[in-house]
Structure 1
Amino acid sequence: MQSTTRNKEGRFLSGFLNAVEKAGNKLPEPALIFFYMLLGVMVLSLVLSWVDFGIINPVTSEAVKVNNLLAPAALVSSLTNMITTFTTFAPLGIVLVAMLGVGVAERSGFINTALKKMLNVTPRRLLTPMLIFVAMFSHVAADAGYVLVIPLGAIIFMSAGRHPLVGIAAAFSGVSGGFAANMVPTGNDALLQGFTQAAAQLLDNTYTVNTLCNLFFGIASSIVITLAGWWVTERIVEPRVSKMPIDGDYVHDEDMSSYSAKESKAFILATLVMLLGLGLLAAVSWPADSIMRGEDGSLTGYSAPIMKAIVPLIFLVFIIPGTVYGYASGTFSKGKDVIDAMNDTMSKMGSYMVMAFFCAMFIKAFGDSNIGTLLALAGADALKAMSLPGGVTIIGMIVLTAVVNILIGSASAKWALLSPIMVPMLMAVGISPELTQAAFRIGDSTTNIITPLMVFFPLVVVYCQRYVKSAGVGTLVSMMLPYSMVLFVVWSLFLLLWWGLGMPLGLAAPYTYPAP
């Protein structure tokens, strides 16, 4: 009887996800979707610009007004700034520079040999949790996970005889769905703490928030998210995705069970060069007065030079050992071979660049219109008006953030808008700023993986199309929706359990205000 019930539930879920994929893939090309959304926002901004919503922005203390993007001055500004809007689109440079280095390492065979060695020592059963955990750990290197871990996830799974899109889904769930979970502090901790403390001081001007106020909860969350993502991958996503035919341009028929003695020696040499470079970087960064540290002495803060140089460092960390491996193994014989590897990598990024252009135009227009700000503040006011109990309020905070996250991708932009309202409001009912920030971070993570407005979403679609030509926005959303739903429920309940048990959120982080 239970087996029959489970089968019915499985068929229902599979049918639902198939419907999501089918509906999503009936949409136009991703580039056209962003173009149509750009037109829609422009028209909507014209209509809403005539409306007085009576909502005050707590950051500027001014009434929120939707800006008309079809006004002559706005149109002229869009045209004159179009080039810089595209060239300064944050993911564009990150992706292209990192992929140049990774492309050389991949074309030379360095990455394949590394994967062969890894697969020989890693049990197939543990590939999924290992990938998700590594994906979460990549948050230390800012956005490196999007351009490094996710495509490698596909290669790792394909090399192990599993569907590459399952590897993409698992890695994406860790990099983006588990964005707030990590075993070590990241620059995001300092970024959010600044907004949280400023918001708390609107009510209590002596209140201070520790940068690591969510550290212990984040460490525990990384284990929970790894286990939850592992379950979703193997119980829901893989059985469904494995049926998709692999017909993309990326062919990987190489035997991953063995490698030659020459390849092994080349790998050892290249790895030693990589380790030497990393050791040199560590030696330069370690001193307290290192030029790689920020003004506050931090190595992980957003202002630290080493954090700003993460992508160029990724480029060097891959291109140098990749080149060494290529010459040592015989894959490369002249400098032109290295350049050809870069050219080949860039030739496959054309569709992403087209999508990035229209994505940049839409995100810029959406931000300029002020529609996202209006929706975020209206949602916060609605939550405030409900006056719910503490635990329910925290869940409401997570829901609000998750919904706003679908429309506003930047964590700092969302928290800059929501924190001046939510932090003092919840302090007034006895909930600490540290707990409010933890709730925000859960909502900010769990819907990253299902919104096409997340700036790296188009890139992940391109990764999928390397293996399944028909993959589109619907394919990716249908793969990631189970992760989003499960992570939302599990992580929210885990926060309530952590709170209920009185476990510490982090350093100097009470649950209540004022602190007991």
Structure 2
Amino acid sequence: MNNDPVKQKGMFRFLGAIEKVGNKLPDPFMLFVYLAIFIILLSWLISAFGVTVIHPGTKEELPIKSLVSGEGIQYILESMLTNFTSFKPLGLVLAMMLGIGLAEKVGLLEAGIRKTILNAPKSIVTYAVVFTGIMGNLASDAAFVVIPPLAAMVFYAVGRHPLAGLAAGFAGTGAGFTANLIIAGTDALLAGISTEAAKTIDKNIIVTPVDNWYFMMLSVFVLTIVGALITEKVIEPRLGKYEGKMGKELAEPNPLEGKGFKNALLAGLAYLVVVAVILFWPNSPLRNEEGGIIPSPFLNGIVPILLFFFLTMGITYGVTVKKITSTRDIPKYMGEAIKDMAGYIVLIFAAAQFIAYFDWTNLGIWVAVNGAELLTSLNFDGLPVVIGYVLFTALLNLLIFSGSAKWALEAPIFIPMFMILGYHPSFIQVAYRIADSSTNIITPMNPYLVVILAFMREYDKKAGIGTLISLMLPYSLAFLVIWIIQLIIFALIGIPFGPGIHMNL
């Protein structure tokens, strides 16, 4: 690539500084351990001054309680297990992974990815690659190692630069990670954390997995168009014509996989029809007493409904391709999927303690009330403060990659603070999601950056981290800007972010 040496040197120095700082941060598990210790000491220090805070909802005066006290030590010991087992995101995510994990382990998700890209007309292949990358978050982290290299092969097969295909696939998968047409594990995970944080202000409020659905569905199409245009108008002209030879040949579709995918789609469609019939049946138990859907048992039970949806499709595919030959294979694949979640389970143990301590000591309310009062006194409120929060989170993502860990860290502070200012927690969750996803593809802390770099070197032996960042930066900036504009449009016009969800409470 013909980059200016001075600019390139400056870029490498900047990226090196980010990587150096990021590498000094502890593992997310230890980060939450240290934060929990910090909360213990902070609660002791602030409580020593007799600090109190007025709860904005109940108007009750609450003291800052010390964890370094008889009561505090008892709470730490007696609540440790319940903090972990009652942490809502844990059950939500593990339940979703039973279904999505099964579908991934039998090969359904990869088959869907391959058919979506390989069957696309050459004129829209770029759009198909970005779209598939965005939808690939159903496969969670597996999408990072499946979609980009497959996209590179597809571009090479149609006579285009393979690195442009890899970049488009990585952009959709990474920067578009939070968007989807289907409610996925990410929705359940973030909604659970948001609900826990929101209950600090309002015990009755619930953030459901569908609260951001409308916004994220539109985002799929908006980002697909933006990603494709960046690829064709910026990335490919910069790369030029590819003169090398590909290390791998594009594999022909397996007829049995095609049959399995077709059968899985039919089974999934049949399942949705059954659910729709039950939902719209007169006096349906899935609707509320007034016959409405918002709120309703249907929305409250969306996680198990989606679980059975993925199980239906996954089992159908597995039986067709003969990966499931007996009922014993079903729990085996589920078990393998849960094994992949071991790191997440360990992380949640520490995160649950930190969040519980933050809540019990009343530090969360104290920070939220004082933060809201500060913003109000500065006359810095409305959408500008929300946009400022988006930019803050986007920058923080350069140092802390894990989206769930970062939200578990931010939600207890920012959701109560913004709720006091009158914003709905689901709206703040949207702001977090667009910021967190946009910079996924340029942060050195992304563990898959090295994997993508290895794929790049199959086509360009001299490719380095600077090459990768320079390819992905246009996508990252474009996605962030377009998403902020979309957020503003939704907020100002009053378009719901999900069923019954608007900017304000």
Cα gap change, 1:285/1:93 in structure 2, threshold over 3 Å: closer, same or farther?
Answer: same
Report the Cα distance in structure 1 between the residues aligned to 2:291 and 2:248, rounded to whole angstroms: 47
Deviations 1:245-302 (A, max 9, x none): xxxxxxxx99764233333233322322222112111111123532122345443x4x
Match of 1:270 in 2: 264
Report the Cα distance in structure 2 between the residues aligned to 1:262 and 1:128, rounded to whole angstroms: 23
Cα gap change, 1:490/1:401 in structure 2, threshold over 3 Å: closer, same or farther?
Answer: closer
Report the Cα distance in structure 2 between the residues aligned to 1:30 and 1:164, rounded to whole angstroms: 29
Q: Which structure is higher in RCO with an 8 Å CA cutoff and minimum separation 6?
A: 1
Report the Cα distance in structure 2 between the residues aligned to 1:21 and 1:155, rounded to whole angstroms: 26
Match of 2:67 in 1: 69
Report the Cα distance in structure 1 between the residues aligned to 2:279 and 2:429, rounded to whole angstroms: 29
Report the Cα distance in structure 1 between the residues aligned to 2:439 and 2:363, rounded to whole angstroms: 17
Match of 1:102 in 2: 100
8 A contact 1:65–1:370 mirrored in 2: yes
Q: How high is the sequence identity, in percent, across the aligned residues? A: 24
Report the Cα distance in structure 2 between the residues aligned to 1:17 and 1:271, rounded to whole angstroms: 44
1:399 to 374, 381, 388: 388
Cα gap change, 1:393/1:232 in structure 2, threshold over 3 Å: closer, same or farther?
Answer: farther
Matched residue SS, 1:335: coil
Report the Cα distance in structure 1 between the residues aligned to 2:14 and 2:278, rounded to whole angstroms: 53
Deviations 1:233-253 (A, max 9, x none): 9979xx9xxxxxxxxxxxxx9
Match of 1:504 in 2: 493
8 A contact 1:34–1:362 mirrored in 2: yes
Report the Cα distance in structure 2 between the residues aligned to 1:217 and 1:350, rounded to whole angstroms: 31
Deviation at 1:319, TM superposition (A): 2.5
The AA in structure 2 aligned to 1:362 is: F
The AA in structure 2 aligned to 1:103 is: G
8 A contact 1:398–1:442 mirrored in 2: no
Match of 2:503 in 1: none
8 A contact 1:165–1:464 mirrored in 2: no
Aligned pairs (5 A) from 1:144-155: 148=139, 151-152=142-143, 154-155=145-146
Deviation at 1:58, TM superposition (A): 1.9
1:333 to 304, 325, 333: 325
Match of 1:130 in 2: 131
The AA in structure 2 aligned to 1:95 is: V
Report the Cα distance in structure 2 between the residues aligned to 1:265 and 1:497, rounded to whole angstroms: 43
Match of 1:293 in 2: 287
Cα gap change, 1:465/1:278 in structure 2, threshold over 3 Å: closer, same or farther?
Answer: farther
Deviation at 1:493, TM superposition (A): 5.8
Deviation at 1:62, TM superposition (A): 3.6
8 A contact 2:172–2:224 mirrored in 1: no
Aligned pairs (5 A) from 1:308-319: 308-319=300-311
Report the Cα distance in structure 1 between the residues aligned to 2:106 and 2:214, rounded to whole angstroms: 41
Cα gap change, 1:416/1:498 in structure 2, threshold over 3 Å: closer, same or farther?
Answer: closer
The AA in structure 2 aligned to 1:96 is: L
8 A contact 1:379–1:400 mirrored in 2: no
8 A contact 2:51–2:64 mirrored in 1: no
Match of 2:242 in 1: none
Q: What is the TM-score with the length of structure 2 in the denominator? A: 0.65
1:32 to 30, 33, 38: 30
Deviation at 1:372, TM superposition (A): 3.0
1:381 to 369, 373, 377: 373
Aligned pairs (5 A) from 1:213-232: none
8 A contact 1:177–1:448 mirrored in 2: no
Deviation at 1:395, TM superposition (A): 0.9
Moved more, 286-295 or 227-236: 227-236
Matched residue SS, 2:48: coil
Match of 2:40 in 1: 42
Report the Cα distance in structure 2 between the residues aligned to 1:165 and 1:28, rounded to whole angstroms: 29
Moved more, 125-134 or 355-364: 125-134
Matched residue SS, 1:81: helix
Cα gap change, 1:327/1:281 in structure 2, threshold over 3 Å: closer, same or farther?
Answer: same
Report the Cα distance in structure 2 between the residues aligned to 1:314 and 1:399, rounded to whole angstroms: 35
Cα gap change, 1:14/1:128 in structure 2, threshold over 3 Å: closer, same or farther?
Answer: farther
CA RMSD in angstroms comes to 5.2
Cα gap change, 1:256/1:30 in structure 2, threshold over 3 Å: closer, same or farther?
Answer: farther
Deviations 1:12-50 (A, max 9, x none): 455434432342233333222211221111111111223
Report the Cα distance in structure 2 between the residues aligned to 1:92 and 1:352, rounded to whole angstroms: 9
Match of 2:336 in 1: 344
Cα gap change, 1:109/1:490 in structure 2, threshold over 3 Å: closer, same or farther?
Answer: closer
Aligned pairs (5 A) from 1:407-446: 414=414, 417-420=417-420, 422-423=421-422, 443-446=431-434
2:87 to 79, 86, 89: 89
Matched residue SS, 2:325: coil
Match of 2:361 in 1: 369
8 A contact 2:351–2:408 mirrored in 1: no
Report the Cα distance in structure 2 between the residues aligned to 1:32 and 1:496, rounded to whole angstroms: 37
Report the Cα distance in structure 1 between the residues aligned to 2:171 and 2:308, rounded to whole angstroms: 27
Q: What is the TM-score with the length of structure 1 in the denominator? A: 0.64
Report the Cα distance in structure 1 between the residues aligned to 2:362 and 2:231, rounded to whole angstroms: 37
Report the Cα distance in structure 2 between the residues aligned to 1:323 and 1:481, rounded to whole angstroms: 40
Q: Structure 1: state its 5+ residue gaps.
A: 136-144, 180-185, 200-213, 240-252, 424-432, 453-459, 470-474, 510-516
